[in-house]
Structure 1
Protein backbone atom coordinates (compact mmCIF):
# COMPACT_ATOMS: atom_id res chain seq x y z
CA UNK A 1 0.00 0.00 0.00
CA UNK A 2 2.80 2.38 0.92
CA UNK A 3 4.60 1.60 -2.32
CA UNK A 4 1.40 2.24 -4.28
CA UNK A 5 0.83 5.61 -2.61
CA UNK A 6 4.44 6.56 -3.17
CA UNK A 7 4.13 5.67 -6.85
CA UNK A 8 0.95 7.73 -7.18
CA UNK A 9 2.64 10.67 -5.47
CA UNK A 10 5.63 10.38 -7.80
CA UNK A 11 3.36 10.35 -10.85
CA UNK A 12 1.50 13.43 -9.59
CA UNK A 13 4.75 15.29 -8.99
CA UNK A 14 5.98 14.31 -12.44
CA UNK A 15 2.73 15.48 -14.02
CA UNK A 16 2.95 18.82 -12.19
CA UNK A 17 6.55 19.29 -13.32
CA UNK A 18 5.69 18.49 -16.93
CA UNK A 19 2.69 20.82 -16.85
CA UNK A 20 4.82 23.60 -15.36
CA UNK A 21 7.51 23.16 -18.01
CA UNK A 22 4.91 23.22 -20.81
CA UNK A 23 3.27 26.38 -19.42
CA UNK A 24 6.67 28.08 -19.04
CA UNK A 25 7.69 27.14 -22.59
CA UNK A 26 4.35 28.36 -23.96
CA UNK A 27 4.81 31.64 -22.07
CA UNK A 28 8.28 32.13 -23.53
CA UNK A 29 6.96 31.51 -27.03
CA UNK A 30 3.87 33.69 -26.63
CA UNK A 31 5.55 36.63 -24.87
CA UNK A 32 7.17 38.13 -28.02
CA UNK A 33 3.87 37.78 -29.87
CA UNK A 34 2.01 39.52 -27.05
CA UNK A 35 4.56 42.34 -26.90
CA UNK A 36 4.29 42.81 -30.67
CA UNK A 37 0.50 42.96 -30.53
CA UNK A 38 0.60 45.34 -27.57
CA UNK A 39 3.11 47.60 -29.31
CA UNK A 40 0.91 47.70 -32.42
CA UNK A 41 -2.09 48.96 -30.45
CA UNK A 42 -0.33 51.49 -28.19
CA UNK A 43 1.85 54.55 -28.58
CA UNK A 44 5.60 54.18 -28.56
CA UNK A 45 7.05 53.92 -25.06
CA UNK A 46 3.80 52.75 -23.43
CA UNK A 47 5.24 49.38 -22.48
CA UNK A 48 8.34 50.96 -20.96
CA UNK A 49 6.18 53.35 -18.90
CA UNK A 50 3.22 51.21 -17.85
CA UNK A 51 4.28 47.60 -18.26
CA UNK A 52 2.65 44.77 -20.20
CA UNK A 53 -0.96 45.43 -19.13
CA UNK A 54 -2.24 48.67 -20.70
CA UNK A 55 -5.44 50.48 -19.82
CA UNK A 56 -8.24 50.69 -22.38
CA UNK A 57 -7.58 54.39 -22.83
CA UNK A 58 -4.11 53.62 -24.16
CA UNK A 59 -5.32 51.36 -26.97
CA UNK A 60 -5.20 53.16 -30.33
CA UNK A 61 -5.54 52.25 -34.01
CA UNK A 62 -3.53 55.15 -35.41
CA UNK A 63 -0.44 52.96 -35.84
CA UNK A 64 -2.26 50.93 -38.49
CA UNK A 65 -3.29 54.07 -40.37
CA UNK A 66 0.31 55.30 -40.35
CA UNK A 67 1.56 51.92 -41.57
CA UNK A 68 -0.92 51.91 -44.46
CA UNK A 69 -0.06 55.51 -45.36
CA UNK A 70 3.72 55.03 -45.16
CA UNK A 71 3.91 52.35 -47.86
CA UNK A 72 1.23 50.98 -50.24
CA UNK A 73 0.33 48.05 -48.00
CA UNK A 74 -3.23 47.65 -49.25
CA UNK A 75 -2.26 47.16 -52.94
CA UNK A 76 0.52 44.82 -51.81
CA UNK A 77 -2.02 42.96 -49.70
CA UNK A 78 -4.12 42.36 -52.80
CA UNK A 79 -1.04 41.23 -54.73
CA UNK A 80 -0.21 38.75 -51.96
CA UNK A 81 -3.76 37.38 -52.03
CA UNK A 82 -3.47 36.90 -55.80
CA UNK A 83 -0.06 35.22 -55.42
CA UNK A 84 -1.37 32.89 -52.70
CA UNK A 85 -4.44 31.95 -54.74
CA UNK A 86 -2.58 31.20 -57.97
CA UNK A 87 0.39 29.48 -56.32
CA UNK A 88 -1.76 27.33 -54.04
CA UNK A 89 -4.03 26.30 -56.90
CA UNK A 90 -0.99 25.48 -59.02
CA UNK A 91 0.55 23.38 -56.26
CA UNK A 92 -2.71 21.54 -55.69
CA UNK A 93 -3.15 20.70 -59.38
CA UNK A 94 0.46 19.76 -60.14
CA UNK A 95 0.86 17.96 -56.81
CA UNK A 96 -2.30 15.91 -57.30
CA UNK A 97 -1.46 15.00 -60.89
CA UNK A 98 2.13 14.04 -60.06
CA UNK A 99 1.13 12.06 -56.96
CA UNK A 100 -1.55 10.20 -58.92
CA UNK A 101 0.96 9.32 -61.63
CA UNK A 102 3.43 8.09 -59.02
CA UNK A 103 0.92 5.79 -57.28
CA UNK A 104 -1.73 4.26 -59.52
CA UNK A 105 -0.66 3.78 -63.15
CA UNK A 106 2.15 1.24 -63.41
CA UNK A 107 5.01 2.44 -65.57
CA UNK A 108 8.79 1.87 -65.70
CA UNK A 109 10.86 4.32 -63.68
CA UNK A 110 8.10 5.27 -61.26
CA UNK A 111 10.32 4.80 -58.20
CA UNK A 112 13.15 6.72 -59.84
CA UNK A 113 10.79 9.60 -60.55
CA UNK A 114 9.68 9.65 -56.91
CA UNK A 115 13.32 9.59 -55.79
CA UNK A 116 13.95 12.66 -57.95
CA UNK A 117 11.01 14.40 -56.27
CA UNK A 118 12.54 13.63 -52.88
CA UNK A 119 15.88 14.92 -54.15
CA UNK A 120 14.34 18.32 -54.89
CA UNK A 121 13.46 18.62 -51.19
CA UNK A 122 17.18 18.56 -50.37
CA UNK A 123 18.05 21.42 -52.74
CA UNK A 124 18.12 24.82 -50.99
CA UNK A 125 15.79 27.34 -52.57
CA UNK A 126 18.64 29.86 -52.76
CA UNK A 127 20.49 27.55 -55.17
CA UNK A 128 17.67 27.96 -57.71
CA UNK A 129 17.35 31.74 -57.50
CA UNK A 130 19.73 32.57 -60.36
CA UNK A 131 18.32 29.96 -62.81
CA UNK A 132 14.78 31.06 -61.94
CA UNK A 133 15.71 34.71 -62.38
CA UNK A 134 17.26 34.07 -65.79
CA UNK A 135 14.25 32.01 -66.85
CA UNK A 136 11.61 34.53 -65.73
CA UNK A 137 13.57 37.49 -67.11
CA UNK A 138 14.01 35.70 -70.43
CA UNK A 139 10.24 35.39 -70.70
CA UNK A 140 9.84 39.11 -70.04
CA UNK A 141 7.92 38.51 -66.82
CA UNK A 142 9.96 40.61 -64.39
CA UNK A 143 7.84 42.83 -62.16
CA UNK A 144 4.67 40.85 -62.83
CA UNK A 145 2.52 38.64 -60.63
CA UNK A 146 3.03 35.77 -63.09
CA UNK A 147 6.78 36.14 -62.67
CA UNK A 148 6.41 35.94 -58.90
CA UNK A 149 4.41 32.69 -58.92
CA UNK A 150 5.76 30.90 -62.01
CA UNK A 151 8.79 29.13 -60.41
CA UNK A 152 6.61 27.87 -57.54
CA UNK A 153 3.60 26.43 -59.33
CA UNK A 154 5.04 22.94 -58.75
CA UNK A 155 6.92 22.09 -55.54
CA UNK A 156 8.29 18.89 -54.09
CA UNK A 157 6.63 18.80 -50.68
CA UNK A 158 2.98 18.82 -51.86
CA UNK A 159 3.84 16.06 -54.33
CA UNK A 160 5.49 14.02 -51.57
CA UNK A 161 2.64 14.56 -49.10
CA UNK A 162 -0.08 13.71 -51.61
CA UNK A 163 1.82 10.72 -52.95
CA UNK A 164 2.00 9.30 -49.43
CA UNK A 165 -1.72 9.97 -48.95
CA UNK A 166 -2.72 8.41 -52.26
CA UNK A 167 -0.62 5.33 -51.42
CA UNK A 168 -3.06 4.56 -48.59
CA UNK A 169 -6.06 4.48 -50.93
CA UNK A 170 -6.95 0.87 -51.81
CA UNK A 171 -5.96 -0.01 -55.34
CA UNK A 172 -9.30 -1.81 -55.70
CA UNK A 173 -11.08 1.55 -55.43
CA UNK A 174 -9.05 2.93 -58.32
CA UNK A 175 -9.55 -0.22 -60.39
CA UNK A 176 -13.31 -0.13 -59.79
CA UNK A 177 -13.50 3.47 -60.97
CA UNK A 178 -11.51 2.65 -64.09
CA UNK A 179 -13.72 -0.38 -64.83
CA UNK A 180 -16.78 1.87 -64.54
CA UNK A 181 -15.35 3.97 -67.36
CA UNK A 182 -14.03 6.90 -65.34
CA UNK A 183 -11.04 8.63 -66.90
CA UNK A 184 -7.89 9.42 -64.98
CA UNK A 185 -8.86 13.03 -64.22
CA UNK A 186 -12.35 12.07 -63.09
CA UNK A 187 -10.98 9.28 -60.92
CA UNK A 188 -8.44 11.62 -59.37
CA UNK A 189 -10.70 14.55 -58.54
CA UNK A 190 -13.93 12.71 -57.68
CA UNK A 191 -12.59 9.66 -55.84
CA UNK A 192 -8.93 9.87 -54.83
CA UNK A 193 -8.76 13.51 -53.70
CA UNK A 194 -11.98 13.37 -51.59
CA UNK A 195 -10.70 10.19 -49.94
CA UNK A 196 -7.56 12.07 -48.81
CA UNK A 197 -9.19 15.32 -47.69
CA UNK A 198 -7.03 15.89 -44.54
CA UNK A 199 -3.76 15.53 -46.43
CA UNK A 200 -5.06 17.62 -49.33
CA UNK A 201 -6.03 20.34 -46.86
CA UNK A 202 -2.58 20.13 -45.30
CA UNK A 203 -0.99 20.57 -48.73
CA UNK A 204 -3.25 23.56 -49.45
CA UNK A 205 -2.42 25.25 -46.14
CA UNK A 206 1.31 24.57 -46.53
CA UNK A 207 1.31 25.99 -50.05
CA UNK A 208 -0.69 29.05 -48.98
CA UNK A 209 1.63 29.78 -46.05
CA UNK A 210 4.72 29.32 -48.24
CA UNK A 211 3.30 31.71 -50.83
CA UNK A 212 2.24 34.30 -48.25
CA UNK A 213 5.58 34.25 -46.40
CA UNK A 214 7.75 34.36 -49.52
CA UNK A 215 10.14 37.31 -49.33
CA UNK A 216 13.44 36.97 -51.17
CA UNK A 217 12.08 35.98 -54.58
CA UNK A 218 9.39 38.72 -54.74
CA UNK A 219 12.01 41.23 -53.57
CA UNK A 220 14.38 40.15 -56.35
CA UNK A 221 11.94 39.89 -59.23
CA UNK A 222 9.80 43.01 -58.62
CA UNK A 223 10.60 46.70 -58.96
CA UNK A 224 7.27 48.39 -58.23
CA UNK A 225 4.22 48.04 -56.01
CA UNK A 226 2.28 46.61 -58.97
CA UNK A 227 3.64 43.12 -58.30
CA UNK A 228 5.23 43.56 -54.87
CA UNK A 229 3.96 41.36 -52.04
CA UNK A 230 3.10 42.37 -48.50
CA UNK A 231 6.29 40.83 -47.07
CA UNK A 232 8.42 43.15 -49.18
CA UNK A 233 6.16 46.04 -48.21
CA UNK A 234 6.67 45.41 -44.50
CA UNK A 235 10.45 45.35 -44.97
CA UNK A 236 10.19 48.76 -46.64
CA UNK A 237 7.98 49.93 -43.79
CA UNK A 238 10.66 48.90 -41.31
CA UNK A 239 13.21 50.97 -43.23
CA UNK A 240 11.03 54.06 -43.64
CA UNK A 241 9.59 54.05 -40.10
CA UNK A 242 12.68 52.97 -38.16
CA UNK A 243 12.03 55.67 -35.54
CA UNK A 244 8.43 54.47 -35.01
CA UNK A 245 8.57 50.83 -33.86
CA UNK A 246 4.86 50.81 -33.00
CA UNK A 247 4.04 51.51 -36.66
CA UNK A 248 6.34 48.67 -37.74
CA UNK A 249 4.65 46.31 -35.29
CA UNK A 250 1.26 47.37 -36.68
CA UNK A 251 2.40 46.45 -40.18
CA UNK A 252 3.71 43.11 -38.91
CA UNK A 253 0.36 42.37 -37.25
CA UNK A 254 -1.43 43.04 -40.55
CA UNK A 255 0.84 40.46 -42.18
CA UNK A 256 0.53 37.81 -39.48
CA UNK A 257 -3.24 37.89 -38.96
CA UNK A 258 -4.21 36.02 -42.18
CA UNK A 259 -1.75 33.19 -41.48
CA UNK A 260 -2.94 32.84 -37.88
CA UNK A 261 -6.57 32.77 -39.02
CA UNK A 262 -5.77 30.16 -41.68
CA UNK A 263 -3.97 27.87 -39.23
CA UNK A 264 -6.75 28.18 -36.63
CA UNK A 265 -9.48 27.38 -39.16
CA UNK A 266 -7.58 24.43 -40.68
CA UNK A 267 -5.99 23.17 -37.45
CA UNK A 268 -8.06 19.99 -37.24
CA UNK A 269 -7.22 19.03 -40.82
CA UNK A 270 -3.55 19.96 -40.34
CA UNK A 271 -3.09 17.73 -37.30
CA UNK A 272 -4.96 14.85 -38.92
CA UNK A 273 -3.14 15.22 -42.23
CA UNK A 274 0.33 15.47 -40.71
CA UNK A 275 -0.37 12.52 -38.40
CA UNK A 276 -1.46 10.34 -41.31
CA UNK A 277 1.49 11.56 -43.35
CA UNK A 278 3.84 10.53 -40.56
CA UNK A 279 2.32 7.05 -40.41
CA UNK A 280 2.64 6.71 -44.17
CA UNK A 281 6.36 7.52 -44.13
CA UNK A 282 7.04 3.80 -43.87
CA UNK A 283 5.77 3.44 -47.44
CA UNK A 284 8.45 5.70 -48.92
CA UNK A 285 10.36 3.88 -51.63
Structure 2
Protein backbone atom coordinates (compact mmCIF):
# COMPACT_ATOMS: atom_id res chain seq x y z
CA UNK A 1 0.00 0.00 0.00
CA UNK A 2 2.82 2.39 0.87
CA UNK A 3 4.51 1.80 -2.50
CA UNK A 4 1.22 2.55 -4.32
CA UNK A 5 0.83 5.81 -2.42
CA UNK A 6 4.43 6.69 -3.17
CA UNK A 7 3.94 6.15 -6.90
CA UNK A 8 0.70 8.15 -6.84
CA UNK A 9 2.46 10.99 -5.07
CA UNK A 10 5.35 10.93 -7.55
CA UNK A 11 2.89 10.83 -10.45
CA UNK A 12 1.06 13.86 -9.08
CA UNK A 13 4.35 15.75 -8.79
CA UNK A 14 5.32 14.84 -12.36
CA UNK A 15 1.95 16.02 -13.69
CA UNK A 16 2.13 19.28 -11.72
CA UNK A 17 5.63 20.00 -13.05
CA UNK A 18 5.15 18.97 -16.69
CA UNK A 19 1.60 20.27 -17.24
CA UNK A 20 2.60 23.95 -17.70
CA UNK A 21 5.35 22.89 -20.11
CA UNK A 22 2.88 20.78 -22.08
CA UNK A 23 0.38 23.64 -22.27
CA UNK A 24 3.07 26.06 -23.45
CA UNK A 25 4.44 23.77 -26.16
CA UNK A 26 1.08 22.65 -27.53
CA UNK A 27 -0.55 26.10 -27.42
CA UNK A 28 2.44 27.65 -29.20
CA UNK A 29 2.03 25.17 -32.08
CA UNK A 30 -1.77 25.27 -32.38
CA UNK A 31 -3.55 27.45 -34.96
CA UNK A 32 -5.02 30.70 -33.68
CA UNK A 33 -8.57 29.43 -34.03
CA UNK A 34 -7.96 26.36 -31.87
CA UNK A 35 -6.37 28.48 -29.16
CA UNK A 36 -9.36 30.82 -29.19
CA UNK A 37 -11.57 27.85 -28.25
CA UNK A 38 -10.12 28.17 -24.75
CA UNK A 39 -9.69 24.53 -23.76
CA UNK A 40 -8.21 23.87 -20.35
CA UNK A 41 -6.10 21.03 -21.73
CA UNK A 42 -5.15 21.78 -25.36
CA UNK A 43 -5.19 18.81 -27.71
CA UNK A 44 -2.53 18.78 -30.48
CA UNK A 45 -4.88 17.96 -33.36
CA UNK A 46 -3.26 20.36 -35.83
CA UNK A 47 0.20 21.82 -35.39
CA UNK A 48 1.75 24.79 -37.16
CA UNK A 49 4.80 27.04 -36.90
CA UNK A 50 2.89 30.17 -37.91
CA UNK A 51 2.81 31.47 -34.35
CA UNK A 52 6.58 31.13 -34.03
CA UNK A 53 7.09 32.99 -37.31
CA UNK A 54 4.73 35.76 -36.24
CA UNK A 55 6.50 36.09 -32.90
CA UNK A 56 9.87 36.43 -34.65
CA UNK A 57 8.45 39.00 -37.10
CA UNK A 58 6.64 41.14 -34.51
CA UNK A 59 9.76 41.83 -32.42
CA UNK A 60 13.53 41.50 -32.93
CA UNK A 61 13.48 38.21 -31.05
CA UNK A 62 16.02 36.57 -33.35
CA UNK A 63 18.58 39.29 -32.61
CA UNK A 64 17.70 39.22 -28.91
CA UNK A 65 18.08 35.45 -28.94
CA UNK A 66 21.67 35.82 -30.13
CA UNK A 67 22.30 38.46 -27.46
CA UNK A 68 20.97 36.10 -24.78
CA UNK A 69 23.18 33.28 -26.06
CA UNK A 70 26.25 35.53 -26.01
CA UNK A 71 25.45 36.82 -22.52
CA UNK A 72 24.85 33.29 -21.23
CA UNK A 73 28.06 31.86 -22.69
CA UNK A 74 30.33 34.70 -21.58
CA UNK A 75 28.77 35.19 -18.15
CA UNK A 76 28.60 31.51 -17.22
CA UNK A 77 32.14 30.88 -18.48
CA UNK A 78 33.47 33.83 -16.47
CA UNK A 79 31.60 32.80 -13.32
CA UNK A 80 32.75 29.20 -13.62
CA UNK A 81 36.37 30.25 -14.17
CA UNK A 82 36.48 32.66 -11.24
CA UNK A 83 34.61 30.19 -9.03
CA UNK A 84 37.01 27.34 -9.82
CA UNK A 85 40.06 29.50 -9.13
CA UNK A 86 38.63 30.88 -5.90
CA UNK A 87 37.40 27.49 -4.66
CA UNK A 88 40.82 25.96 -5.34
CA UNK A 89 42.48 28.74 -3.35
CA UNK A 90 40.04 28.26 -0.47
CA UNK A 91 40.62 24.49 -0.23
CA UNK A 92 44.11 23.35 -1.17
CA UNK A 93 46.80 26.00 -0.53
CA UNK A 94 47.15 26.95 3.11
CA UNK A 95 47.44 30.69 3.67
CA UNK A 96 46.65 33.11 6.45
CA UNK A 97 43.23 34.72 6.29
CA UNK A 98 41.68 32.01 4.12
CA UNK A 99 38.67 31.59 6.42
CA UNK A 100 38.07 35.34 6.61
CA UNK A 101 38.23 35.68 2.83
CA UNK A 102 35.73 32.88 2.36
CA UNK A 103 33.43 34.46 4.96
CA UNK A 104 33.49 37.67 2.93
CA UNK A 105 32.53 35.72 -0.19
CA UNK A 106 29.63 34.11 1.69
CA UNK A 107 28.57 37.54 2.95
CA UNK A 108 27.87 38.59 -0.64
CA UNK A 109 25.06 36.02 -0.71
CA UNK A 110 23.26 37.95 2.03
CA UNK A 111 22.85 41.07 -0.11
CA UNK A 112 19.79 41.07 -2.39
CA UNK A 113 20.64 41.77 -6.00
CA UNK A 114 18.37 44.82 -6.08
CA UNK A 115 20.54 46.58 -3.50
CA UNK A 116 23.48 46.52 -5.94
CA UNK A 117 21.60 47.84 -8.95
CA UNK A 118 22.38 51.54 -8.41
CA UNK A 119 26.16 51.20 -7.85
CA UNK A 120 26.37 48.73 -10.74
CA UNK A 121 24.42 51.08 -12.99
CA UNK A 122 26.66 54.03 -12.13
CA UNK A 123 29.83 51.97 -12.60
CA UNK A 124 28.79 50.55 -15.96
CA UNK A 125 27.69 54.01 -17.14
CA UNK A 126 31.01 55.56 -16.10
CA UNK A 127 32.82 52.83 -18.04
CA UNK A 128 30.86 53.79 -21.16
CA UNK A 129 29.23 50.36 -21.40
CA UNK A 130 25.61 51.38 -21.08
CA UNK A 131 23.37 49.98 -23.82
CA UNK A 132 25.96 47.37 -24.76
CA UNK A 133 26.12 43.60 -24.41
CA UNK A 134 29.30 43.99 -22.36
CA UNK A 135 27.40 46.18 -19.90
CA UNK A 136 24.95 43.36 -19.29
CA UNK A 137 27.75 40.93 -18.46
CA UNK A 138 30.36 42.97 -16.56
CA UNK A 139 28.67 43.11 -13.11
CA UNK A 140 28.21 39.33 -13.13
CA UNK A 141 31.63 38.01 -14.04
CA UNK A 142 31.83 36.35 -10.60
CA UNK A 143 29.20 34.79 -8.35
CA UNK A 144 29.56 33.91 -4.68
CA UNK A 145 27.15 31.00 -4.90
CA UNK A 146 29.22 29.30 -7.60
CA UNK A 147 32.32 29.71 -5.41
CA UNK A 148 30.45 28.08 -2.53
CA UNK A 149 29.29 25.14 -4.67
CA UNK A 150 32.76 24.36 -6.00
CA UNK A 151 34.44 24.85 -2.63
CA UNK A 152 32.13 22.28 -1.08
CA UNK A 153 32.86 19.92 -3.96
CA UNK A 154 36.63 20.36 -3.66
CA UNK A 155 36.50 19.75 0.09
CA UNK A 156 35.14 16.24 -0.57
CA UNK A 157 38.12 15.34 -2.77
CA UNK A 158 41.07 13.38 -1.30
CA UNK A 159 43.78 15.87 -0.48
CA UNK A 160 46.41 13.16 -0.93
CA UNK A 161 45.78 13.12 -4.68
CA UNK A 162 46.46 16.84 -4.92
CA UNK A 163 49.58 16.50 -2.79
CA UNK A 164 50.84 13.69 -5.03
CA UNK A 165 50.29 15.86 -8.10
CA UNK A 166 52.20 18.70 -6.49
CA UNK A 167 55.09 16.36 -5.64
CA UNK A 168 55.19 15.28 -9.28
CA UNK A 169 55.83 18.88 -10.27
CA UNK A 170 52.32 20.13 -11.08
CA UNK A 171 51.80 23.83 -10.56
CA UNK A 172 48.59 25.16 -9.07
CA UNK A 173 46.95 25.84 -12.42
CA UNK A 174 47.92 22.46 -13.85
CA UNK A 175 46.75 20.69 -10.69
CA UNK A 176 43.41 22.48 -10.94
CA UNK A 177 42.88 21.69 -14.62
CA UNK A 178 44.17 18.12 -14.74
CA UNK A 179 43.51 16.78 -11.25
CA UNK A 180 40.89 18.70 -9.28
CA UNK A 181 38.34 19.58 -11.98
CA UNK A 182 38.19 16.08 -13.55
CA UNK A 183 37.63 14.53 -10.13
CA UNK A 184 34.77 16.96 -9.39
CA UNK A 185 33.22 16.84 -12.88
CA UNK A 186 29.57 16.26 -11.79
CA UNK A 187 29.71 19.17 -9.35
CA UNK A 188 31.42 21.38 -11.92
CA UNK A 189 28.68 20.63 -14.45
CA UNK A 190 26.06 21.39 -11.81
CA UNK A 191 27.68 24.75 -11.10
CA UNK A 192 27.93 25.46 -14.85
CA UNK A 193 24.24 24.71 -15.30
CA UNK A 194 23.35 27.02 -12.42
CA UNK A 195 25.46 29.80 -13.93
CA UNK A 196 23.94 29.30 -17.38
CA UNK A 197 20.34 29.22 -16.14
CA UNK A 198 20.78 32.32 -13.99
CA UNK A 199 22.37 34.18 -16.91
CA UNK A 200 19.68 33.10 -19.38
CA UNK A 201 16.80 34.03 -17.07
CA UNK A 202 18.12 37.49 -16.20
CA UNK A 203 15.53 40.20 -16.78
CA UNK A 204 15.74 43.27 -14.55
CA UNK A 205 19.38 44.22 -15.15
CA UNK A 206 19.30 43.79 -18.97
CA UNK A 207 16.10 45.87 -19.03
CA UNK A 208 17.71 48.64 -16.97
CA UNK A 209 21.12 48.89 -18.62
CA UNK A 210 20.01 48.65 -22.27
CA UNK A 211 17.89 51.04 -24.33
CA UNK A 212 18.01 49.62 -27.86
CA UNK A 213 15.77 46.60 -28.57
CA UNK A 214 18.61 45.02 -30.60
CA UNK A 215 20.86 44.94 -27.52
CA UNK A 216 18.32 43.52 -25.11
CA UNK A 217 17.96 39.89 -24.12
CA UNK A 218 15.18 37.53 -25.08
CA UNK A 219 13.59 37.84 -21.64
CA UNK A 220 13.07 41.56 -22.14
CA UNK A 221 11.88 40.94 -25.68
CA UNK A 222 9.31 38.46 -24.42
CA UNK A 223 7.88 41.06 -22.03
CA UNK A 224 7.54 43.49 -24.96
CA UNK A 225 5.95 40.74 -27.04
CA UNK A 226 3.28 40.28 -24.36
CA UNK A 227 2.39 43.97 -24.69
CA UNK A 228 2.41 44.04 -28.50
CA UNK A 229 0.49 40.77 -28.96
CA UNK A 230 -1.98 41.06 -26.08
CA UNK A 231 -4.82 39.88 -28.35
CA UNK A 232 -2.88 36.91 -29.74
CA UNK A 233 -2.17 34.47 -26.90
CA UNK A 234 -0.83 31.82 -29.28
CA UNK A 235 1.94 34.20 -30.40
CA UNK A 236 2.81 34.92 -26.77
CA UNK A 237 3.01 31.20 -26.09
CA UNK A 238 5.27 30.84 -29.12
CA UNK A 239 7.63 33.46 -27.73
CA UNK A 240 7.54 31.71 -24.38
CA UNK A 241 8.44 28.44 -26.10
CA UNK A 242 11.48 30.07 -27.69
CA UNK A 243 12.64 31.21 -24.25
CA UNK A 244 11.84 27.87 -22.60
CA UNK A 245 13.48 25.60 -25.16
CA UNK A 246 17.19 26.20 -24.30
CA UNK A 247 16.66 25.76 -20.57
CA UNK A 248 14.60 22.63 -21.15
CA UNK A 249 17.25 21.10 -23.39
CA UNK A 250 19.99 22.06 -20.93
CA UNK A 251 18.25 20.30 -18.06
CA UNK A 252 17.40 17.23 -20.14
CA UNK A 253 20.93 16.72 -21.45
CA UNK A 254 22.60 17.63 -18.18
CA UNK A 255 20.30 15.84 -15.75
CA UNK A 256 22.73 12.93 -15.31
CA UNK A 257 25.49 15.24 -14.13
CA UNK A 258 23.00 17.36 -12.18
CA UNK A 259 21.71 14.38 -10.19
CA UNK A 260 25.23 13.08 -9.54
CA UNK A 261 26.42 16.50 -8.45
CA UNK A 262 23.51 17.08 -6.08
CA UNK A 263 23.79 13.55 -4.67
CA UNK A 264 27.52 13.97 -4.09
CA UNK A 265 26.97 17.19 -2.12
CA UNK A 266 24.23 15.58 -0.06
CA UNK A 267 26.38 12.57 0.87
CA UNK A 268 29.34 14.74 1.83
- Scaled by the length of structure 2, the TM-score of the pair is 0.95
Which structure is larger by alpha-carbon Rg, 1 or 2?
1
CA contact (8 A) 1:205 1:262 kept: yes
Q: In structure 1, which of residues 237, 251, 259 is the aligned counterpart of residue 239 of structure 2?
A: 251
Partner Cα separation in structure 1 for residue 153 and residue 64 of structure 2: 35
Q: Deviations over 1:243-268 (max 9, x none)?
A: 11100000000110011001110101
Q: In structure 2, which of residues 108, 116, 119 is the aligned counterpart of residue 131 of structure 1?
A: 119
Asked whether 1:67 is paired with 2:58, we answer: no
CA, structure 1 residues 181+25, in 2 after alignment: closer, same or farther (shift >3 Å)? Answer: closer
Any residues of structure 2 matched to 1:28-177 within 5 Å, and which?
Answer: 28-44=16-32, 46-47=34-35, 49=37, 51=39, 52=41, 54=43, 56=45, 58-177=46-165
Q: CA deviation at 1:166?
A: 1.0
Partner Cα separation in structure 2 for residue 218 and residue 55 of structure 1: 35
Q: In structure 1, which of residues 169, 181, 185 is the aligned counterpart of residue 173 of structure 2?
A: 185
Q: Gapped runs of 5+ residues in structure 1?
A: 1-12, 281-285
Q: Gapped runs of 5+ residues in structure 2?
A: none
Q: CA deviation at 1:55?
A: 5.4
> 1:226 aligns to what SS in structure 2?
helix
Q: CA deviation at 1:61?
A: 1.0
- Scaled by the length of structure 1, the TM-score of the pair is 0.89
Q: Deviations over 1:53-72 (max 9, x none)?
A: 5354x321100010000100
CA contact (8 A) 1:95 1:162 kept: yes
CA contact (8 A) 2:150 2:188 kept: yes
Partner Cα separation in structure 1 for residue 184 and residue 126 of structure 2: 39
